[in-house]
Every structure is written in C-alpha cells, then in structure tokens.
Amino acid sequence: MGSAATAVGRPKTLFDRTAEWDALAAFASDPRPGPAVGMVTGPRGQGKSYLLQELVRATDGLYFGAQEAAEAESLRRLAEQLVRHTGEGPPPRWRGWEDALEAVLALGAGRPVPIVLDGFPELVRQSPSLPAAVQTICHRLRDAGGPNRARVLLCGSTMPVMRRLLGNAPATADFRIEIGRLDYRQGARLWDIEDPFLALQVNAVVGSSPAFRHDAAGEDAPAHRDDFDAWVCRTVLNPRLPLFWRASQLIEREPDGWDRALCHSTLAALADGCTTTGAIADWLERPATDVPHILALLGDCGLVDATPDALRPDMTHYGIAEPLLAFDHSVIRPHRGELERQNAARVWRAVRPAFESSVLEQQFARTCRAWVVGFATADTFGAAPATAAPGSVPAAPGKTSFDADVVVRGEAHGRPGTLLSVGTARWNEVMDLPHLHEIQQVVAALAERGEDVSRTRPALYSTAGFSPRLRAAEARGELILVDPERLYNGV
C-alpha cells in the first residue's frame, strides 16, 4: 500500500508499539482506491486486539471479535455490530459470509475504513469457506473498479497458523504485520521496575506481555526486591485473579484436535530443563518419534521456540517462549489444588528453590542471549554479534562433554559465523576463576575439533557478582563479565 495516508493519532494509553501503530494506521488510512486485505499475527497476550480496537476507535472503523459459536450466531452478532456502527436497522439476515462481507465492506465506499475480523482462526473453524469468501469479495470489488477503500484486517495467532488457514491468500495479502513480544528491557519499563535484579525475577514469572501487566495482575507490581515473594503470592499464585489461570488458557484456546494432555506434559518437561527431543522423550517416557509433532504444534502457535545448537549442527534446543507458561508448569500446575485452597505462601516457600534452579536459571540464560543480539555492541565481542545460542561439545573418547549457555557467532553467509564468544550463565552464584577455567576448557576442546578460536572471548554472566580476580582479568581484557546492571543498562 502507498504512504500518502492520513495521520492517525496514537492512543495515549498505548505502551511502546510505535512502529506497529504507525504501520497499522498507514494501512488503514491509505487513500488509494480498491479494497485491501491485511494480516495481523502474533502470540497471544501481546496486545493485538487492543491495538486493533484502538485503531478502529481512532478511524471510525468496524471491529468484530470472534467467540466460540456456530456460524449463524456469529453472523447475527456481526449484523448487530454493523447496525450499531451505522445506526441503520434492523439487523440484516445474511445467507452466509459472502453476503456479510459484501455488506460490511460497503463501509469503505466513500473513504478508507478498517474492518477488523479478530480471532480469525475461530471464525474459520466455524466457517471453513470464509477465507475464500474474503478473497472473492475483494476481487469482485477490485474488478469493478469502484471507489471502495475497505481495509480488511484479519487477526489471528502466529503466521504459520494463518498461512494454513488462508491457503494461497498470504501471497496476495497487501499488508502483513506480526505483533511480537516486547523485549526484556521494554518489559521492565512496562512494569515500572528500575532494579535490574528485580526485573529479571519478574521477567521469569510473567515475561513482558502487556496483557499480564494490567488486566490480569490488577495493576499490582512489586514495590522493591524484598516485595517479590509477597507479590508472587498475591498475584500469580492467587486463584482469585485471572493471572493464576492465564497460562492454562493459552493451551485451551488453541485449535481442536490437539492432544492437550501431551502438550502440557511436554511443557512441563521443558520447564524442568529438558531442551532436546531426546531429553523430552525420556522425561515423558515416550518414543522420540512422538515429540517432534507436538513441538511443531506448540511452535506454530508461538508457545515454544527452537534454537539450533551453536556448536552441533545436528542438534536443536527447544524452550518455552512465554515465561508465564514455564512458571505455570513448574510451580502452579503441580500444586494447583493446594493453591486453590489459598495456601500460596506455604507452596511458594516449598517450590522457590526449584523455581530458582529451573525456571530462573533457564530464563536468565535466555535473557543473556537476548542481550547479546539485541544490545551488545561490536566493541564488546570484537565484531557485531549475529547469533547467540546454547552450545554443546560432545565428549571425545576419554574426555568430558561440555555445555555452554551463551555461544556467540558473527555474521555468516550460509555457514557458521566466526566464533566470537563462549559463555556460561549462573543465577545467584558468585563466579570465580573455576568458572573461567571451565569455559577455557570448552574453547580448548573446540580448537581440538578444528574450530577457529582465534577471536573467541570467554564470557561469564551472573546475577550475584564476580570475584576480584575475575574483575582484574576483565580489566586486562581477558574476558567479558555481564551482570544485571549491564543486561539492562549497558552494552
């Protein structure tokens, strides 16, 4: 679409999302003739619906949110919504979606107007012919050559799901945007937290999803570091608040046909630290062939992400993309009955050590990798970092295998980039020379396997600090040290 669009005022209540708002507003107000179809995707809880509702409010468009219903009920609801919008009644009785779309898209006869169908996958579940109807009506209006400027926005889950629903439609969509997760620094600002250590703790529980900040947590944020435990008990472990149930709803809202029990168990395995298909299969006591399918389903909906091992091309590491989902499967789900009986403080005291050793450790390592690719500069690693991933060095005969939490590579074109750094991340553990020696052993093992380590710098990441000897080595330029302050405010 073109760029000569009317400016649309940004809502004062919108946190961040400047680029996303500007792109949506430009599409919705593009004055060129002819209808256009846009796709809005992204994981649940990231503010897609809120953005679209505000867009419709700012442009006098039409918003329709899907509910679980039969096709006839959805069409009646849309008819009632159209009447409320136009003030012209009574509600029409449509024979199907082609009739409905023809009537709704007529709103764009005189000006650009956004028409939002939110929850598009649910509407397609009710009416499998809906994607074809959207294309048919838009093609008909384009071929007629009239002044229609309807801007249809189809909103749903992540792109793979929408691509399957729409068939060839993504290839002809005029506009696509993904409303992704806010990064961890944005998450700290969202929660009004300035203490980096506290921000890491909160991020490991609720991540950076806007939906969990306001609606679900009742505007309650931890006041300071010593308030964290009490905050967990009064919010995410409180069955009277929606936040307690949000994670399970992320699974229950996904399409029919899922083996939800296996989904939950797979997420529990991931939360427990199993990151490869083999480890997950062992945890589930299932054949390894059962695991890839369920990981693909969870990945399609943005709940699980896959990261190639930085040192072994044949290995992939999986992780839970939404921190609240990991917290739920590590803390809430195993103790839901007791928590529903209002025993949050006792449960939290019992599970907090496991939370630190599993959920916090994993999330801290993920945050360190996010810092590398999102905020660290070329000066830090000697070149611009392109990727940061876990890495595994298999054991040679008679030797020990090694794992690294943060393996940094530079730019590459179809092959592994220069190995810039190998690092380990530890939550609440003061690091000293033995940690450095361990990383140096990894680098030496890689050199023996033929890896070019001439530009590789050891790195240590810790929330509890570093010994004076490590600080002295850092001053000599021998390694990289990263603490919470640097993660949130440094490069």
CATH classification at residue 393: 3.40.1350
Same domain? 334 vs 244 = yes
Longest dimension (CA), the chain: 82
What's the DSSP call for residue 434? H
- Structural domain includes residue 268: yes
| Cα–Cα dist 361/355, whole Å | 8
Same domain? 202 vs 90 = no
Same domain? 219 vs 75 = no
Q: Single out the residue in 337, 363, 389 at which a domain terminates.
A: 363
| Cα–Cα dist 484/197, whole Å | 6
The size of the chain, in residues, is 491
Q: Single out the residue in 178, 204, 227 at which a domain terminates.
A: 178
Q: Provide the total of helices (H) and of strands (E) in the chain, helices listed first.
A: 24, 12
| Cα–Cα dist 158/299, whole Å | 9
Per-residue pLDDT of the chain (491 residues; tens, 9 = 90+): 554 556 788 998 899 999 999 999 999 999 999 999 999 999 888 999 999 999 999 999 999 999 999 999 999 999 999 999 999 989 999 999 999 999 999 999 989 999 999 999 999 999 999 999 999 999 999 988 888 999 999 999 866 777 777 765 555 689 999 999 999 999 999 999 999 999 999 999 999 999 898 776 668 999 999 999 999 999 999 999 999 999 988 887 765 557 888 999 999 999 999 999 999 999 999 999 999 999 998 998 889 999 999 999 899 999 999 999 999 999 999 999 999 998 999 999 999 999 999 999 999 999 999 999 999 999 999 999 999 999 998 876 766 788 999 999 999 887 789 999 999 999 999 999 999 999 999 999 999 999 999 999 999 999 999 999 999 999 999 999 999 999 999 99
| Cα–Cα dist 435/152, whole Å | 55
Instruction: Select from 192, 215, 217 the least CA-distant residue to 205.
Output: 217
Same domain? 212 vs 322 = yes
Domain span at residue 456 reads 375-489
Same domain? 189 vs 74 = no
Same domain? 166 vs 232 = no
- Structural domain includes residue 114: yes
Query: Which contacts qualify for 48-52: CB closer than 8 Å, 24 or more apart?
Result: 48/118, 48/155, 48/179, 49/118, 49/155, 50/14, 50/210, 51/14, 51/17, 51/20, 51/21, 51/24, 51/179, 52/24, 52/114, 52/116, 52/118, 52/153, 52/155
- Structural domain includes residue 168: yes
Same domain? 339 vs 383 = no
Structure tokens at 181: 């997760």
On the 0-12 / 13-18 / 19+ scale of CB atoms within 10 A, 407 is buried
- CATH number of the domain at 23, please: 3.40.50.300
| Cα–Cα dist 427/360, whole Å | 7
Same domain? 309 vs 254 = yes
- Structural domain includes residue 308: yes
- Structural domain includes residue 38: yes
39 and 161 in contact (C-beta within 8 Å)?
Answer: no
Is the pTM higher than 0.85?
A: yes
| Cα–Cα dist 329/281, whole Å | 17
| Cα–Cα dist 367/51, whole Å | 26
461 and 368 in contact (C-beta within 8 Å)?
Answer: yes
Same domain? 28 vs 50 = yes
pLDDT for residue 433: 98
| Cα–Cα dist 85/72, whole Å | 20
pLDDT for residue 3: 46
What's the DSSP call for residue 225? G
- Structural domain includes residue 74: yes
Same domain? 338 vs 190 = yes
Q: Single out the residue in 329, 363, 397 at which a domain terminates.
A: 363
Same domain? 282 vs 234 = yes
Count of domains forming the chain? 3
- Structural domain includes residue 391: yes
The 10 Å CB-count burial string (b at 16+, else e) for 225-236 is: eeebeebbbbbb
Quickly count: other Cβ atoms within 10 Å of residue 216's Cβ: 20
- Structural domain includes residue 1: no
Residue type, 52: L
Same domain? 142 vs 258 = no
